[in-house]
Amino acid sequence: MMSLTLSVAAAAATVDFVPRPVSVQYKEGSFILDKNVRIEGGDAFNVKYLKEHLARVFDPMGDSWNPTQGKTSISFVRVKSFPAEGYSLDVHPESIIITATDKAGEFYAIQTLLQMLPAQVYRRATGPDAMLIRQCTLPCVSIVDQPRFSWRGSMLDVSRSFFDKEYILRHLDFLAYHKINKFHWHLTDDNGWRVEIKKYPRLTEIGAWRGPDEALMPAYNSGEERYGGFYTQQDLKEIVAYAAERNIEIIPEFDLPGHSKALAVSYPEVVCKHDEELRSVQGETHNVICVGREKNYVMLENIIKELAAIFPSKYFHVGVEEVVTESWKHCPDCQKLMKKLGYTDEKQLLGYFTGRMEKILAKYGKTLEGWEDIIDGDELSRNDLVLVWHNQNLLQKAIDAGFPAVTQNCYYLYFDMKQSAAERGHTWASIIPVEKVYAFDPLQGLELTPEKEKLVKGLQGGLWTELLFYPPHFSEYQIFPRLCALAEVGWTPQDLRDYADFDARMTRAHFERMWNMGIKFRIPAPEVDAQCNVRSPYPNMVVRYTFDGTEPTVSSPVVTGRIVTDQPEKLRFATFYNDVKSITVSVPGTTRYLEPATHVSSSLEPARGYSLAVLENYEPGKNFRSSSLPKKGDYVLYTFEEPVSCKRITVQTADPVNNFFGVTQGHVEVSFDGTSFRNAGTFDMYNRVVIESPAQPVKAVKIVVDGPCEGKMLSIQALKIE
Ligand code: TNX
């Protein structure tokens, strides 16, 4: 244990809460909190939770907690009149009074109280890493608080990347600390079925795994390994209970009737029978459930029956998005059904399917939730919840049609989007820095009446996980601090929100809390100008640097002034907050790319609208795409008019916008004379080969495919030659 015994005085008279409470009034005096505090009343779990957190700092060895003798107390009082999840927290010199109407309100008062304590209350450290704090001083204060929206959520896709039970439990803890109350669990998709269903064991025996010898192809960098996993029903029960204790409702999603490849490979009879190679947005074929096959509804009902017993949530999310409805055009069973129903367009079958699911769910006491595509469905109950993932117009459409709705607006709330241009992630919706999440208001641009406003239940952030395989801890990097901003959007009244103020609270206190929680959050890169002036994004974060072109580490020197050098191209900088590191940046203008005249040829046919010319013209941000799946032996050959002297050539494959369709099995060859080629490296996990310091001027570079790649097509970017 840390030998240091600290007595933490209230360093500042005010506390940097995130999310910001509705009303905070500081009073004269202070409260001294230590291990002798008595805790009175309160929900049993809430009290246990509070004690556990206090013990982390006041009694880390678990040997001296003795609350009965204390003069000070924390008392819980229940009243009838508070709004749901609302609370008041009054700190007097000798007592702390928490008042609430429900268990949730009590729990959120505890969260607010924890934020008044040293950040080490969030640390799970025991033994030598533990820290003992003898006592700390809290300012007297009166806080009255309640959420702006009843739905403050986080969505996680566990199909494209799998996250084990421990990860999910940690994630739930992090959500609770931010007063997030919904966890939307995207449990099935094309690339993995993640829940045990006793009646249909093949769903997890087959559908939970992908790899070269599996029914599901490798995808999203799972590579040559057998990759996957699932939750047993016992795991699910534990996770649901853990969430419920923390006031988090888990809404399971089963993505139907599209996005169903994992289901389709496990039970092939469920999909439409035809040979058309229709591709979904993600490039999958034969992933649409046959809506004309009556037995499918029996199977879906059996699945729902098992899960309704596990998930107490009111809503069950059944997907209904990005469905290749054209599949139904080629299926005799679906066509027969269309005739019977008098439908003229396959899209109408989407509404039919949703209606059937609604009725099945109702039998088990569940209400349907679906992506925005359900708005157009036939005669759905206005109890069904619409989850909007595009713009505010669709949110307007949902509430105009009388549906309750939640927004996961992709332009503001998709955590799989990049946080800045140089970072990893998608950009198809937008680049989404934390400021942009904060700037979002779920009610913006809407035409509202009081009734319609009530239908907007709130918002959630979404992490889709196609690009999550690396780097390590990338999921937390993508979620935090954007989720902190989202938490405040969902909780704090609009007129009390101010980004500069939020940012100041983050840097003064909340990064420290998150660091103690163990979150590997994102921090901004340093600002570096062409004159080598370097600035840390925040006063309490340092910038470290190297001068040999390598990545800075925690032991690299700290920048203390302007760096004077005649080789600025060798400098690399990164911001550090303890061991948390930003992306690495160089001095601007020092990496200039050469664009020597080149001719590009390939064994691959271009996809419609694509051409090799973008590679010859070095068009920034553009790419070449092949019309079909690459196979062993396929190549792309760049031949330079004149041999090129250079330091480095970066061969980057995959789409620049979504990072899909790169070379996952292949290598690059280089030639100095245009006839004999030598191997220059195999593609790495970033679908990239970097040729360092070629021995002679380079005449040609060849990309060679060595085996099936994960994408359904190949995508290549222009060479970067330095
Ligand atoms: C769209 S949002 C999808 C997901 C992808 C995501 C990638 C939605 C309902 N569908 O299947 O993972 O884009 O950003």
In three state form, how does the secondary structure of 90-132 look? Answer: EECCCEEEEEECCHHHHHHHHHHHHHCCCHHHHCCCCHHHCCE
On the CB side of 141, how many CA atoms lie within 13 Å of its CA? 22
Mutate-to-test residue for ligand 1 from 464, 465, 469, highest number of ligand atoms within 8 A of CB: 464
pLDDT of residue 711: 67
* Residue 653 is assigned to a structural domain of this protein: yes
Backbone angles phi, psi at 629, to 5 degrees: -60, 130
Residue 645: which CATH number? Answer: 2.60.120.260
* Residue 516 is assigned to a structural domain of this protein: no
- Taking phi first (over 0 means left), then psi (-120 to 50 degrees means alpha), and beta for anything else, what does residue 693 get? left
Question: In sequence order, what are the residues at sequence separation of 6 or more whose Cβ sits closer than 8 angstroms to the Cβ of residue 340?
Answer: none
Q: Report how many domains make up the chain.
A: 4
464 C-alpha to ligand 1 centroid (Å): 6
Residue whose CA is at the smallest distance from ligand 1 atom 6:
464
The number of beta carbons lying within 10 Å of the beta carbon of residue 7 is: 11
| 317 close to ligand 1 (CB < 6 Angstrom) | no
Residue whose CA is at the smallest distance from ligand 1 atom 7:
464
DSSP lists the bridge partners of residue 73 as 38, 95
DSSP lists the bridge partners of residue 89 as 98, 143
* Residue 517 is assigned to a structural domain of this protein: no
Judge whether 282 and 339 are in contact, CB under 8 Å. Answer: no
Residue 136: which CATH number? Answer: 3.30.379.10
* Residue 574 is assigned to a structural domain of this protein: yes
Last residue of some domain: 95, 129, 145? 145
| 321 close to ligand 1 (CB < 6 Angstrom) | yes
Do 394 and 260 share a domain, yes or no? yes
Residue whose CA is at the smallest distance from ligand 1 atom 13:
464
Residue whose CA is at the smallest distance from ligand 1 atom 4:
464
Judge whether 73 and 150 are in contact, CB under 8 Å. Answer: no
For 588, the token pair is 């601007």
Do 572 and 676 share a domain, yes or no? no
Do 410 and 315 share a domain, yes or no? yes
* Residue 554 is assigned to a structural domain of this protein: yes
Do 124 and 228 share a domain, yes or no? no
51 C-alpha to ligand 1 centroid (Å): 41
- Whole-model pTM: value is 0.92
Residue whose CA is at the smallest distance from ligand 1 atom 2:
389
Annotate 562-600 with b (16+ C-beta within 10 A) or e (fewer).
ebeeeebeebbbbbbbeebbbbbbebeeeeeeeebebeb
Do 77 and 113 share a domain, yes or no? yes
Distance, CA of 154 to CA of 164 (rounded, Å): 17
* Residue 518 is assigned to a structural domain of this protein: no
| Boundaries of domain holding 554 | 527-586
Orientation angle between helical segments 103-115 and 44-58, nearest 10 degrees: 10
| Alpha-carbon torsion angle 556, 558, 563, 565, nearest 10 | -10
Do 381 and 440 share a domain, yes or no? yes
Distance, CA of 421 to CA of 632 (rounded, Å): 33
**pLDDT digit string (tens) for 42-58?**
999 999 999 999 999 99
Please provide the DSSP assignment of 569-596 as one string.
GG-EEEEEETTEE---B--TTS---B--
Residues taking part in catalysis: 189, 259, 322
For 116, the token pair is 């008044």
Does residue 630 sit in helix, strand or coil? coil
Residue 494: which CATH number? Answer: 3.20.20.80
114 C-alpha to ligand 1 centroid (Å): 36
| 186 close to ligand 1 (CB < 6 Angstrom) | no
* Residue 685 is assigned to a structural domain of this protein: yes
406 C-alpha to ligand 1 centroid (Å): 16
Do the strands 572-577 and 635-644 form a parallel or antiparallel pair, or are they unpaired? unpaired
* Residue 592 is assigned to a structural domain of this protein: no
| 480 close to ligand 1 (CB < 6 Angstrom) | no
pLDDT of residue 11: 43
| 322 close to ligand 1 (CB < 6 Angstrom) | yes
pLDDT of residue 510: 98
Do 176 and 99 share a domain, yes or no? no
Closest atom, ligand 1, to C-alpha of 428: 14
Question: In sequence order, what are the residues at sequence separation of 6 or more whose Cβ sits closer than 8 angstroms to the Cβ of residue 539?
Answer: 507
pLDDT of residue 530: 92
| 464 close to ligand 1 (CB < 6 Angstrom) | yes
Distance, CA of 697 to CA of 706 (rounded, Å): 26
For 146, the token pair is 């309640």
| 595 close to ligand 1 (CB < 6 Angstrom) | no
**Could you tell me the mean pLDDT of each successive run of 10 residues in the chain, 722 residues long?**
55 85 96 92 97 90 72 96 98 97 98 97 85 92 98 98 97 98 98 98 98 92 91 98 98 97 97 90 91 98 98 97 94 97 94 96 98 87 97 97 97 97 91 98 98 98 93 94 98 98 97 97 96 94 94 96 89 96 94 91 93 92 89 95 95 87 93 96 92 95 89 88 94
Do 364 and 460 share a domain, yes or no? yes
| 416 close to ligand 1 (CB < 6 Angstrom) | yes
Do 673 and 582 share a domain, yes or no? no
509, amino acid identity: A
Question: In sequence order, what are the residues at sequence separation of 6 or more whose Cβ sits closer than 8 angstroms to the Cβ of residue 190?
Answer: 159, 219, 259, 260, 261, 262, 280, 282, 284, 287
Let me know the angle formed at the C-alpha of 256 by 251 and 257, rounded to the nearest 5 degrees: 165
Judge whether 346 and 320 are in contact, CB under 8 Å. Answer: no
**pLDDT digit string (tens) for 271-327?**
998 989 898 988 899 999 999 999 999 999 999 999 999 999 999 999 999 999 999
Do 122 and 179 share a domain, yes or no? no
Last residue of some domain: 91, 112, 145? 145
Do 533 and 412 share a domain, yes or no? no
Please return the burial class of 278, using the count of CB atoms within 10 Å of its CB with bins 0-12, 13-18 and 19+: middle
36, amino acid identity: N
| 238 close to ligand 1 (CB < 6 Angstrom) | no
Last residue of some domain: 127, 145, 163? 145
Question: In sequence order, what are the residues at sequence separation of 6 or more whose Cβ sits closer than 8 angstroms to the Cβ of residue 555?
Answer: none
pLDDT of residue 66: 67
Do 222 and 332 share a domain, yes or no? yes
Closest atom, ligand 1, to C-alpha of 322: 10
Tell me how far CA of residue 191 lies from CA of 218, 255, 537, 631, 712, in angstroms: 9, 11, 38, 21, 14
